[in-house]
Chains A and B, each alone.
Chain A
Amino acid sequence: MKILVGIKRVVDFNVRVRVKPDGSGVDTDGAKMSINPFDEIALEEALRLREAGIASEVIVISIGDSSCQQQLRTGLAMGADRAIQVDTDIHLQPLAAARTMLAVIETEQPGLVILGKQAIDDDNNQTGQMLAALWNRPQATFASKVVVAGDTATVTREVDAGLETIEVDLPAVITTDLRLNTPRFVKLPDIMKAKRKPLEVIAFTELAVSNDNNIQIDHYAPPAVREKGIMVDSAAALVTELKSRGLL
C-alpha cells in the first residue's frame, strides 16, 4: 500500500510572526521555515506503518514554489521514499489544495492519505475534509491513534466530548492531531541519503485544477495588545474593581 502525506512549508512554530505594515499578509522574509508540525506527525505515522510492514511506500507532496523543496527534502531525510512538488507561486486556498491533491491521487492511487489536521499558518482545518468529499472516500479527522488491518483503519479521534473510535474503509483520508505520535529526529546519514531520493516536480498548470478563490482576504492585523493589569491589595478591593467594570 502506498501512503501519500501532505507537507506544508510554514513559518517555524518558534518564530514570533509579524504582520506586514500594509496589512497584506504575514512577513515571512528571512523567517525560519519548517514543515507544519501536524504534517510532521502525519509523516511519522506513515513511516511507522511502513516499518510495520503495512505500507510499502511513503510519498510526500507539497504545493508551492521551489522553496518548499527544502521541506520535502527534510521529509525524505526523515524517511519518505519519494517526493512530489506541485509547482506554483499562487497561495492556494484549501479547496484548490484539495483539488490539487486529488489530481495527484488519481495518478498515484494511494491506499491511504494522511494530512495534518491543519497548518499552523492559516489554521484552516479544511483541506483533509474537502479532499475526502471530492475523492468520495471516508475521512477520519483529528486522529490520536491509527490501527490499519486489511482494508480498514480503526482511528481514535479527539472530539469535543472526549475520544471517539471509528472504522473506515480504505482508501481514506486521515488527519492527525497532536497526540498521535512524536516525530523522529532527522539523522545525519539520512540527510545525505535524501539527496539521492527522487523529487518530482509537476507544474500546477498541468493538473488543470480550478483555482477560483472563494474567500477574499481584506487585510491582516496583529491581535490587540493586552492591557497591563493592576494589583489589588485585598479581596474586597478585587470585588469593588470587578463591580465597577460591571463584571460582577
Chain B
Amino acid sequence: MAKLNPLDLYDIRSQLSEDELMVQDSIAAWVDERAVPLIAECFDKARFPTELIPEIAELGLLGSTLEGYGCAGLNYTSYGLICQELERCDSGLRSFVSVQSSLCMYPIYAFGSEEQKQRWLPEMAAGRAIGCFGLTEPQGGSDPANMKTHAKRDGDDWLLNGAKMWITNGSVADIAIVWAQTEDGIQGFLVEKDMAGFVTQDIHSKMSLRASTTSELYFDNVRLPDSSRLPGVKGLKGPLSCLTQARFGISWGPIGCAIDCLDSVLKYTEDRILFDRPLAANQAIQIRLADMARRITTAQLLALQLGRLKDAGKMQHTQVNLAKWNNVRMALDIARDARDMLGGFGITTEYTPIRHMLNLESVITYEGTETIHQLAVGRELTGISAF
C-alpha cells in the first residue's frame, strides 16, 4: 500500500481533469516561488505586494473564468483550485484576485454594456486597471437592502452620494463598482478614480488581512453619465449574484490556509523533541492532527462537489452559503489550533498559522458573516426567513 498524502487523504486530485491538475500545479509553482518568499514581510509592513500584479495578470489569474476579452475561460473548479493555491500563501493575495475577478470583472461581464466590457475587461485582465466593489456601508453589511448610498437623476446624469466601508483595493482602484439606491431600486455604477467628489481613505491599524489594502469610499455629489450605470440588472440580485461568485472562491481558498497549517504542524511536531520524544508521539497531539485532517478532507469534498455543481450550472446559493460557512470555520479553527501547537514559535510570522488565523478572522466576517450563512441555510430548510 502506498503512503497516503497527509494533505490529500482522499486523493481528491484523482478526481480532477488534466486541465484542472495543470492549473493547480502551475499556480502552486508560481505561489511557492514568487509569492511565499514575500508575504511575511508584506504582512509585517502592512502592504500589498503590488510588484506581483503584472505577473498575476500575465499568468491569467484575473477574470480567469470569463470567455473572451483576454480572459482564459476556465471552468469554476479550476477557479476554486486557484483560490486554494493563492490562499495557501495568504488570504490577502486571494482577496485581491477574488475582488478583481468575481466582484468587479464579473458584474461588468454579466450586467455591463458592450462598450463597458470593451473598455474595462481587457484592461482589468491585464492588471492595468484595478477594481474595487462598494456594497458594505459604515452602518452595516448584512442588510444591504437598507443601504444609504443613493443616486438621483439630474438631467441625463446621475448624482451619487454616500459612503462605503471595508472596501478591498479601495484606494488603489482605478474603477469602483458602486451599488446605490435609485428610484428604480438598487443599481450598479462604474465610478472612476479621478471623478470629482470621489475620495478614498485607507483603514489602518488592521490586525488582519495586513497584506491587503482596505479602504473607505466617499461620494459627495459625484456626477455620473448614464453610460456609467450597469444596464443589465436592477435590485439586490445584482450585488448578491457577485457575492455568490466570490463566495464560491472563498469556499475553496481557506482549504489552502488549513493545508498550510497542517503541513506546518506536521513538520514541527515531528522535529520538536519534548520529554525525550517527538511531540507527534503524544496522543493529545495526534488527535488534534487527525481532527485537522478529517476537517480538511470534508471541506475538500464539499468544495469539489460545489465546483461540479457550479460547472454543471446547477449550483444554488444556499449550497455556497453552507460551503463558505463550513470551510472558513474549519480553516479558522485549524489555524488557531495550529498556532497553539507551535508554542512560542507560533506567535511570530516565521511560522504561517498565526498569519492565517488573523486573516481568517476577516474571511469569516466578510462576504457574509458566519451567522448570515447559517441563517440562509436555516431559511432554506424551514422556508422562513429569520433575518
Q: Report A's interface with B, CB cutoff 8 A.
A: 18, 27, 29-32, 34, 69-70, 73-74, 77, 185-192, 194-195
- Are B72 and A18 interface neighbours, CB within 8 A? no
Q: Give the docked Cα–Cα distance between A186 and B20 (Å).
A: 13
**Chain A residues in 8 Å Cβ range of B22:** 70, 73-74, 77, 186, 191, 194
In addition to A187-B60, A189-B73, 13 A-B residue pairs with Cβ atoms within 8 Å of each other are A18-B3, A29-B2, A32-B13, A32-B25, A188-B23, A188-B64, A189-B60, A189-B70, A189-B72, A192-B19, A192-B72, A192-B74, A194-B22
CB-contact partner of A191 in B30, B70, B72, under 8 A: B72
A189 to B, closest residue via Cβ = B72
CB-contact partner of A70 in B5, B21, B60, under 8 A: B21
- Are B60 and A185 interface neighbours, CB within 8 A? no
Query: Is there a chain A Cβ closer than 8 Å to B52's Cβ?
Result: no
- Are B2 and A191 interface neighbours, CB within 8 A? no
**Chain B residues in 8 Å Cβ range of A31:** 2
B125 to A, closest residue via Cβ = A189
- Are A185 and B4 interface neighbours, CB within 8 A? no
Question: Within B1-56, which residues are at the interface with A (CB < 8 Å)?
Answer: 2-5, 11, 13-14, 18-19, 21-23, 25-26, 29-30
**Chain B residues in 8 Å Cβ range of A30:** 2, 4-5, 11, 14
CB distance from B97 to the nearest CB of A (A): 11
Query: Is there a chain A Cβ closer than 8 Å to B246's Cβ?
Result: no
- Are A195 and B19 interface neighbours, CB within 8 A? yes
Q: Give the docked Cα–Cα distance between A189 and B78 (Å).
A: 12
**Number of residue pairs A-B, CB distance < 8 angstroms:** 63
CB distance from A66 to the nearest CB of B (A): 11
- Are B2 and A188 interface neighbours, CB within 8 A? no
- Are B18 and A70 interface neighbours, CB within 8 A? yes
Using an 8 Å CB-CB cutoff, how does the interface string of B361-375 with A read, 1 for contact, 0 for none?
000000000000000
B5 to A, closest residue via Cβ = A30
- Are B23 and A191 interface neighbours, CB within 8 A? yes
**Chain B residues in 8 Å Cβ range of A69:** 18
CB-contact partner of B26 in A18, A29, A191, under 8 A: A191
CB distance from B84 to the nearest CB of A (A): 15
Q: Could you list 11 A-B pairs, sorted by A, with CB under 8 Å?
A: A18-B3, A32-B25, A185-B30, A186-B25, A187-B59, A188-B72, A188-B74, A188-B82, A190-B60, A191-B22, A194-B22
CB distance from A122 to the nearest CB of B (A): 20
B33 to A, closest residue via Cβ = A185
- Are A185 and B29 interface neighbours, CB within 8 A? yes
**Chain A residues in 8 Å Cβ range of B59:** 185, 187-188
Q: Give the docked Cα–Cα distance between A32 and B25 (Å).
A: 10
- Are B26 and A192 interface neighbours, CB within 8 A? no
Q: Give the docked Cα–Cα distance between A188 and B23 (Å).
A: 7
**Chain B residues in 8 Å Cβ range of A189:** 60, 70-73
Q: Give the docked Cα–Cα distance between A187 and B29 (Å).
A: 11
- Are B3 and A188 interface neighbours, CB within 8 A? no
A29 to B, closest residue via Cβ = B2
Q: Give the docked Cα–Cα distance between A192 and B71 (Å).
A: 11
Q: Give the docked Cα–Cα distance between A136 and B206 (Å).
A: 67
Query: Is there a chain A Cβ closer than 8 Å to B58's Cβ?
Result: yes
**Chain A residues in 8 Å Cβ range of B64:** 188
Q: Give the docked Cα–Cα distance between A30 and B11 (Å).
A: 8
Query: Is there a chain A Cβ closer than 8 Å to B173's Cβ?
Result: no
CB distance from A25 to the nearest CB of B (A): 12
- Are A73 and B18 interface neighbours, CB within 8 A? yes
- Are A188 and B4 interface neighbours, CB within 8 A? no
The 4 closest A-B pairs by CB, nearest first: A188-B60, A29-B2, A186-B26, A188-B72
Query: Is there a chain A Cβ closer than 8 Å to B175's Cβ?
Result: no
Query: Is there a chain A Cβ closer than 8 Å to B151's Cβ?
Result: no
Question: Within B63-116, which residues are at the interface with A (CB < 8 Å)?
Answer: 64, 70-74, 78, 82
Query: Is there a chain A Cβ closer than 8 Å to B61's Cβ?
Result: yes
**Chain B residues in 8 Å Cβ range of A77:** 22, 26
Q: Give the docked Cα–Cα distance between A74 and B29 (Å).
A: 13
**Chain B residues in 8 Å Cβ range of A186:** 22, 25-26
Q: Give the docked Cα–Cα distance between A186 and B73 (Å).
A: 15
Q: Give the docked Cα–Cα distance between A231 and B74 (Å).
A: 56
**Chain A residues in 8 Å Cβ range of B78:** 188
**Chain B residues in 8 Å Cβ range of A74:** 22, 25-26
B13 to A, closest residue via Cβ = A32
Q: Give the docked Cα–Cα distance between A192 and B60 (Å).
A: 11
**Chain A residues in 8 Å Cβ range of B3:** 18, 27
Q: Give the docked Cα–Cα distance between A187 and B73 (Å).
A: 12
B19 to A, closest residue via Cβ = A191
CB distance from A68 to the nearest CB of B (A): 12
Q: Give the docked Cα–Cα distance between A77 and B74 (Å).
A: 14
CB distance from A158 to the nearest CB of B (A): 23
Q: Give the docked Cα–Cα distance between A187 and B19 (Å).
A: 12
CB distance from A228 to the nearest CB of B (A): 11
- Are B2 and A34 interface neighbours, CB within 8 A? no
Q: Give the docked Cα–Cα distance between A185 and B71 (Å).
A: 17
Q: Which one of A70, A186, A194 has the highest number of Cβ atoms from chain B below 10 Å of its Cβ?
A: A186
**Chain B residues in 8 Å Cβ range of A18:** 3
- Are A27 and B2 interface neighbours, CB within 8 A? yes
- Are A34 and B25 interface neighbours, CB within 8 A? yes
- Are B61 and A188 interface neighbours, CB within 8 A? yes
CB distance from B334 to the nearest CB of A (A): 22
Q: Give the docked Cα–Cα distance between A124 and B70 (Å).
A: 43
Q: Give the docked Cα–Cα distance between A97 and B139 (Å).
A: 70
Q: Give the docked Cα–Cα distance between A186 and B23 (Å).
A: 8
Q: Give the docked Cα–Cα distance between A72 and B25 (Å).
A: 14
**Chain A residues in 8 Å Cβ range of B18:** 69-70, 73
